[in-house]
Chains A and B, each alone.
Chain A
Amino acid sequence: MITADERYYASLRRNIMAIIITVALMPLLAMMAIAGYQFHTAYRHKVVDHLAALVDRHTMHVDTFLSEKLADISTLAVIKPLEKLRDSAELEKILTMFQEKHRGVFVDLGLVDEQGFQVAYAGPFRLTRAQYGDASWFQESIRQPFTVSDVFLGLRGLPHFIVAVRIESGGHFWVLRSTIDFVAFNRLVEDLRIGKTGQAFIVNAEGQFQTQPHARPGVDPQELLRIVRGEAPKEIYSTAVEGLEIMGGSGNVYKTPTGLHGASWFEYTVPETQRRFLVFYQNLKGGRWVLFYLQELEDAFHDLYKARMLTLVVLAFSTLGVTLTAWALSRRVVLRIIQVDREKEMMNEQVVEAGKLASIGELAAGIAHEINNPVAIMVEEAGWIQDLLEDCERGERLDVEEVRRSLQQIRTQGARCKEITHKLLSFARRTDPTVQQVQLNKLVQEVVALVEQRARYAGVTIRTHLTEGLPWVAMSPSEMQQVLLNLINNALDAMEKSGGTLDITTRYEDGRVIVDVADTGEGIPQAILQRIFDPFFTTKPVGKGTGLGLSICYGIIRKLGGDISVNSAVGVGTTFHIYLPAGDGVVQTKTVERDTLTKEES
């Protein structure tokens, strides 16, 4: 069974632990949260800025590359007369020159007429007289002066794209085209690789790859395009938002000019694999191509996550350490408190025992005197009978009546001794501290009977005002006897010099049984009134008082769940009030006053 004490200690321990853990971990957690958040934000910005700049630069490279190639071909178309371009051998010379200059970026050169018929060709493939009439790039290039086509497989079955310039001559259109080496172009984008998953690729307006991705990105470029164009339904791509400030808030990239504004980015979670990507994009070729840069979030913020992981591990260990410390410390503290409490309890018991002995010693002195008187009378009476008998032996007549009177007196005094012994026994018998239902009135009368003699010699009148029908109180009679005896002895001490009146009142009020012990003694000075319940506090000379009486009273009454208070005025007297919790007894309001002993009686 769990006692109230154990519950108290358990809750004490819990409190100590909670306080230690809170005090130790709160600042740690707060610090980590704040520093972690700041670091997280700063690092994210740094990474994003860095990647955006990178993507920007690459876009510029690609754009520059394309416009350079276009410029080369345009220049060729302007400076070379059409006749020369129509000559395959001439084209061969120009191609060789270009290839020397550009390290093989231009794969071939060709001139196509209005109908899509390749009139002249120079290059590794045998494409003279090839028909391009249906090719989409051709139809485009015949409509506009400059064309850079999307990547397509073409007649050769190899991925490539074409740079074409329209030449107008004699009312007819001609198209000068050159195939750009796909590998060289691809390298421009392929270079953009960071970390394990970072890679870049270019898609055209239809979402087709314009460069060879290094590895399958695991993301459908069509969907990315839809997000970029702001077409993606929000509920599906809820994570695909948040453009960078540079983007200027516009979701539709095609409307913004492909100037040197920064790259835009968003976070994208692939619905099927739940892989989270950081996606940067930038428009190319006047908005017809888009360069995407993808990197898995975990990869991009690898250092950040590593730092965060480390922090969490440190935090976990700290928490574990603090908890263990709190556990051990609270255990030690509570064990120590339990030990101290036990020692205190033992000390209290010893003090109570010592006080009991002291009060019994005081009592014994009174009793000895009380018993001495009848004994003296008996001895005298016996002596008187002896005297009478001696007279009788000498021949005088025996006064039988006198002998009888003496014997009667001896009997009376013997009975008085017996009464005293009984009183003493009733006190001694009840030294066990077992709690019983006690009638206070009876107890008061018993104690008063014990101190009557002492009071008589001190010239003190004891008056009891006992309210009849008091409810019983659950307590140890011997302890309560001790309390009353201590208070009465103190009162008698206070009145010893001058005599006085001791009023003992029992009453019932607000569910409490109250005992008032009021004397008309010297009174207690205000200065020491606060200290009278302190152990070892005494005003008596050394060797006369233990200073324990009132502290024991206090201890006993508090243990019973009661209270004890004192009113005192110097020169007027002192009143002690004892408040005790009443048991469920019947209460009647009938006061019986009895003067147990007065000076006049003695």
Chain B
Amino acid sequence: METIRVLLVDDEVEFLDTLLKRMRKRQVEAAGVYSAEDALRYLESSPVDVVVLDVKMPGMDGIDALKAIKERHPLVEVIMLTGHANVEVAIQGMELGAFDYLMKPMDIDELLYKVQDACKKKRLHEKRIQKRKGVEAEEENGTA
């Protein structure tokens, strides 16, 4: 199985650093940024499978970031991280196309499973697109 490329976005530096270490220990290719703006910049330059996005951040918040990500990189899956008070926001995120949400503090394994599931879904999605492209190419070839 290919390594999963994960981008963690959270304004809590300590939280993010530790989470990164733990993810890396689990053979996940994890990168971390501290704000939504940075995340969008990062996505421009580096391929990412799953974005783990904190909902409540100063500046651009999670929901706006989700919208932007889904707009610019539709294939990238997003998992929302919320505090207890923001479940509604997380659900709103789901409606906007997030893969799932998790409540902080979460179990690392749970996060890992969700990340893997999200990655699987993305790969499937990609494969389907690939196939369709292939079919289209074949059709093109056939007609040609």
Chain A residues within CB distance 8 Å of chain B: 365-366, 368-369, 372-373, 375-381, 383-384, 387, 406, 409, 412-413, 456-457, 459, 599, 602
Contacts and interface: CB of A to CB of B under 8 A. Distances in A.
A383 B12 CA distance: 17
A377 B25 contact: no
Interface string B21-32: 110010000000
A373 B83 contact: yes
Given A369-B85, A377-B15, A457 B58 contact: yes
19 contacts: A368-B84, A369-B56, A369-B83, A372-B83, A377-B18, A378-B105, A380-B22, A381-B14, A383-B22, A383-B108, A384-B18, A387-B22, A409-B18, A456-B58, A457-B56, A457-B57, A599-B58, A599-B59, A602-B11
A379 B105 contact: yes
Contacts of B58: 456-457, 459, 599, 602
A378 B104 CA distance: 11
A-B interface, 5 closest residue pairs, ranked by CB to CB distance from nearest: A379-B105, A372-B83, A376-B105, A376-B104, A369-B83
A375 B84 CA distance: 12
Contacts of B105: 372, 375-376, 378-380
A379 B106 CA distance: 8
Contacts, number: 66
Contacts of B92: none
B86 interface: yes
Given A372-B85, A376-B105, A377-B14, 18 more contacts: A365-B85, A368-B83, A372-B84, A376-B15, A376-B104, A377-B15, A377-B18, A379-B106, A380-B15, A380-B18, A380-B105, A381-B14, A383-B108, A387-B22, A409-B18, A457-B58, A459-B58, A602-B58
A384 B21 contact: yes
A131 to B, nearest CB: 148
Interface string B72-114: 0000000000011110000000000000000011111000000
Contact of B59 (A368, A373, A412, A459): A459
A373 B104 contact: yes
Secondary structure of the A side of the interface?
Answer: helix
Contacts of B21: 384
B62 to A, nearest CB: 11
Nearest to B86: A369
Contacts of B61: 457
Interface in B1-17: 11-12, 14-15
A244 B86 CA distance: 107
Interface of B: 11-12, 14-15, 18-19, 21-22, 25, 56-59, 61, 83-86, 104-108
A376 B12 CA distance: 10
Nearest to A364: B85
A457 B62 CA distance: 11
A599 B11 CA distance: 12
A300 to B, nearest CB: 101
A369 B88 CA distance: 14
Contacts of A457: 56-58, 61
A413 B14 contact: yes
B46 to A, nearest CB: 24
A457 B58 CA distance: 4
Nearest to A372: B83
A372 B102 CA distance: 13
Contact of A380 (B19, B59, B83): B19
A409 B16 CA distance: 13
A332 B107 CA distance: 70
A368 B85 contact: yes
User: Of residues A369, A375, A376, A381, which shows the largest number of chain B Cβ atoms within 10 Å of its Cβ?
Assistant: A376
Contacts of A380: 15, 18-19, 22, 105, 108
Contacts of A375: 104-105
Nearest to B14: A377
Contact of B12 (A365, A373, A412): A373
Contacts of B15: 373, 376-377, 380
Contacts of B19: 380
A434 B21 CA distance: 52
